[in-house]
Structure 1
């Protein structure tokens, strides 16, 4: 089988026609399917995205408040209050133990 210049030219023309057809199909698919689909998705998902951002902001704010309460800050946090109560309990425990030791039942 011998390939002639005409056959080679026809092959190039057919390959070019297929490339143009595939390009046209891609452009039409993008304009007719992809762009409208993306617009619709953005419109439909926008409320969910906004709600998610709001929840994330509220969660971050709540976590910041909790962190402030469980971190020592010089007296007003829960951590500081628990540390003070623990120290007072240690003093009371020591005093009670000393009292029991020094005043046994008669």
Structure 2
């Protein structure tokens, strides 16, 4: 199960309004970053055969089968600071994260 904080939900909805009407929010994990794995978010209009679709806070969330195993109980938050706004990821299965919080190790 993926969790979206109220702030993340609000920001995703704001970004979606700038896109196509029925655009989907994609969350993906790929190798990279300074801690082995990096979170990758985007919008998509295509649901691939390997995708799972979740309805989280009325947002359609796409996650491919390879990524889902790294995202169990992930909480996505959004916050703004002096350097700007950004999504924050709280992953209970990560054994370490980099200082920017966008990459992790298991």
Q: Structure 2 length normalisation: TM-score?
A: 0.15
Give TM-score scaled by structure 1 length: 0.15
Higher helix share: 1
Higher strand fraction: Structure 1 or Structure 2? Answer: 2
Structure showing greater radius of gyration is 1
Larger RCO (CA within 8 A; separation ≥ 6): 2
